[in-house]
Amino acid sequence: MSEKLMQENIIKAQKEIENKKQKVKNGQMRQHYHFMPETGWINDPNGLIYYKGRYHYFYQFNPYYGHWDYMHWGHAVSKDLVHWEYLPVALAPSEEYDDHIRGGCFSGSAIEHDGKLFLMYTGTSNHGSGYEQTQCIAYSEDGIHFTKYEGNPVIYPPEGVPSDLFRDPKVWKHDGIYYMVCGASRNKKAQALLYRSKDMIHWEFFNVLAESRGEWGYMWECPDFYQLDDKYVLMFSPMGESDRKAVYLVGDFDYNTGKFIWQVSGEIDWGLDYYAPQSFLAPDGRRIIVGWANEWQWMSFWKDWGPTYREGWCGFFNLPREVRLMPDHTLQFIPVKELEILRENGQSTGCFAVGSQEMALKAGDGIAFEIKMKVDLEETDASGLEIDLRCGEGRKTTCTFDFKHGVMQVDRNASDGWSKGVSSSTLFLKGKKELDIHIYSDQSSLEIFADQYHNNHANNIFAGNAQNQIKVRAYGGSAVIRDYESYGMKECFR
Ligand code: FRU
């Protein structure tokens, strides 16, 4: 009976997608190569997995219109992490534990178990005494059509955890046992709770994996935990920590005690539009993460969701990034090598100097492009470098590298007459010979990576097509640029 209701709700959603997808396809602001929904609203990446020869993206999805509402799980597959094929909606709200209209099937993860694809997600309901979040299971034989487990929910909020602050299970397997980390809050402080199970159905609480003493907010959304070389990484998106939106901790973990002791912390991305990243393993062993390119209304720089809702959609994912551990146990987040298949019209230049006189740079059509370059810090006497992206009609987005004060900033106050805010991060340049810069520009976003992929800024901007120039200048002296390469990026989402 209840399975029937989910199928009906999926059919309803699919009809809506069929009716509206052409309008979204015609959208002026749709991305050229960043993954976006077929119609409607998208937020967190969910259930990322490489399963039976294909990468799967599931995602928080409202197929009906470009605003957050009544969460479904959208679904798409890819052979190369670049070209994606949409599949039917995987989960729709249908049960008393996941059917609240301001709730639904919230974030979660995927794992292979017993030859089937299992999803674990947060059901959100409200029966008159506040929101109730519980952890639920769905499974599939073919990786496309899912059945919700009849014994759902499999985990209820533990004592002391408010029932509206218990969500986003991320599952993995170690030595034949399943583990799951889930975001929670206790005494107004964030926690990552660790559970374990032998069969994906019966779960026991194991330990508090890590918790905030107040310095990392009151709730961790979308925690994720994995081994990287000989260390362990916990990632989460803290609520109540102003501009910290995608934090990582690196440390040691003991499967006997379930305790994680971390020594290093960092930010995955300092941009205004990077949230709730989830990781998965590629078949060649790379740990890859994907984050949602937007922010919530409770965040400091939030202005609005963006004008794309008028075109019937809102939101996309930032580019998949490979996570690498550095010798000092900080992390690098490097756009995956698969993206190189999108390159066209490559150009490269040897060494050149930039002074206070503005210079034009060429990269593809000036809208969808990639640029890589290095600043030779030994030959540079400038105090900083400014790169203006998507310039035209008196508008621009300025990326500044202040060598003297050690700051990187992306300013979008003049980007499009709509966006606002400056993203900012510290650049540690002391003793360094060069500063590497890597830029991806798409129709509605800029992702800028610097200093060995430690200083990353993802920012959405909604610039028109006449904004297609790129300019660079140095201040306080001249800057020497080496190994400049640029490419146009082929369309795969248009
Ligand atoms: C994070 C989040 C999750 C929740 C989902 C709801 O962006 O708030 O905690 O599961 O979005 O769509």
Distance (angstroms) between ligand 1 centre and the Cα of 23 equals 27
Out of 41, 44, 165, 220, mutate this one to test ligand 1's pocket (max ligand atoms within 8 Å of CB): namely 44
Q: Of 185, 182, 194, 195, which is closest to residue 216 (Cα–Cα)?
A: 185
Buried b or exposed e, range 248-266, using 16+ CB within 10 angstroms: bbbbebeeeebbbebebee
Q: Is 185 in the pocket of ligand 1 (CB under 6 A)?
A: no
Active site residues per annotation: 44
Q: How far is the CA of 271 from the centre of ligand 1 (A)?
A: 19
Whether 488 has a pLDDT exceeding 70, the answer reads yes
**Rounded-to-integer distance, Cα 490 and Cα 494, Å:** 10
Q: What is the pLDDT of residue 1?
A: 47
239 CB near ligand 1 (under 6 Å): no
Three-class secondary structure of residue 338 per DSSP = helix
Please tell me the distance from the alpha carbon of residue 434 to that of residue 362, in angstroms, as a whole number: 22
CA distances, 435 to each of 194, 372, 408, 454 (Å): 39, 11, 11, 11
Atom of ligand 1 nearest to the CA of 237: 1
Tell me what the mean pLDDT of segment 114-141 comes to. 95
Contact by Cβ (8 Å): 123, 152: yes
- Which pLDDT tens digit goes with each residue over 154-194? 999 999 999 999 999 999 999 999 999 999 999 999 999 99
185-222 b/e (C-beta count within 10 Å ≥ 16 → b)? bbeebbbbbbbbbeebeebeebeebbbbeeebbbbbbb
Index of the ligand 1 atom closest to the CA of residue 222: 9
Q: Which of 69, 221, 298 to probe ligand 1 with, by most ligand atoms within 8 A of CB?
A: 221
Position 301 scores a pLDDT of 81
Q: Is the CB–ligand 1 distance for residue 221 below 6 Å?
A: yes
Q: 385-409: b or e for each residue (b if 16 or more CB lie within 10 Å)?
A: bbbbbbbeeebbbbbbbbbeeeebb
CB of 72 shorter than 6 A to ligand 1: no
Q: Is the pLDDT of residue 374 over 60?
A: yes
Ligand 1 atom 8 nearest Cα: 221
44 CB near ligand 1 (under 6 Å): yes
Is the predicted pLDDT of residue 284 greater than 50, yes or no?
yes
Whole-number Å distance between alpha carbons of 164 and 231: 32
Residue 439 CA: distances (Å) to CA of 101, 210, 297, 322, 433: 40, 34, 27, 16, 20
Mean pLDDT value of segment 318-337: 98
Average the pLDDT over 112-139 and give the result: 95
Mutate to test the pocket of ligand 1, among 42, 170, 222, 224 (most ligand atoms within 8 A of CB): 222
- The rounded distance, in Å, linking the Cα atoms of 250 and 253 is 10
Predicted pLDDT at 86: 98
Q: What is the mean pLDDT of residues 107-112?
A: 98
42 CB under 6 A from ligand 1?
no
- The closest-lying atom of ligand 1 relative to the alpha carbon of residue 183 is 9
Tell which wins on pLDDT, 338 or 300.
338
In whole angstroms, give the CA distance from residue 353 to residue 481: 6
For residue 129, the model assigns a pLDDT of 85
The predicted pLDDT at position 303 comes to 81
Tell me what the mean pLDDT of segment 476-491 comes to: 98
pLDDT on residue 243? 77
Please tell me the distance between residue 71's alpha carbon and the centre of ligand 1 in angstroms: 9
Closest CA to 312 of 33, 57, 30, 9: 30
- Phi/psi of residue 278, nearest 5 degrees: -125, 150
Q: What is the reported pLDDT for 306?
A: 86
Report which protein residue has its CA nearest ligand 1's atom 2.
Answer: 221
213-226 per-position pLDDT tens digit: 888 999 999 999 99
* Nearest to 291, CA basis, from 324, 320, 334: 320
What whole-number distance in Å separates Cα of residue 399 and Cα of residue 373?
14
User: How many other CB atoms sit within 10 Å of the CB of residue 309?
Assistant: 16
pLDDT value of position 128 = 87
Q: Is the pLDDT of residue 150 over 50?
A: yes
Q: Please, what sign has the CA dihedral across residues 176, 177, 183, 187?
A: negative
What does the alpha-carbon distance between residue 363 and residue 376 come to, in Å, rounded to a whole number? 21
CA of 234 to the centre of ligand 1 (A): 18
Q: Which ligand 1 atom sits nearest the alpha carbon of residue 71? A: 12
What average pLDDT does range 243-269 have in this prediction?
Answer: 96
Averaged pLDDT, 251-279 = 97
The per-residue pLDDT for 168 is 98
Task: Tell me what the pLDDT averaged over the chain comes to.
Answer: 96
Q: What is the pLDDT of residues 419-466, one digit of tens each?
A: 999 999 999 999 999 999 999 999 999 999 999 999 999 999 999 999
Distance CA 491, CA 25 (A): 13
Upper half-sphere CA count for residue 438 (Cβ side, 13 Å): 18
Residues 6+ apart with CB under 8 A from 241: 216, 217, 247
Please tell me the distance between residue 251's alpha carbon and the centre of ligand 1 in angstroms: 26
15-61 pLDDT per residue, tens: 999 999 999 999 999 999 999 999 999 999 999 999 999 999 999 99
> In this predicted structure, what is the pLDDT of residue 122?
98
Cα 275 to Cα 168: distance, rounded to the nearest angstrom: 13
**pLDDT confidence bin for 101, thresholds 50/70/90:** confident
Please indicate whether residue 276, judged by its CB atom, sits closer than 6 Å to ligand 1: yes
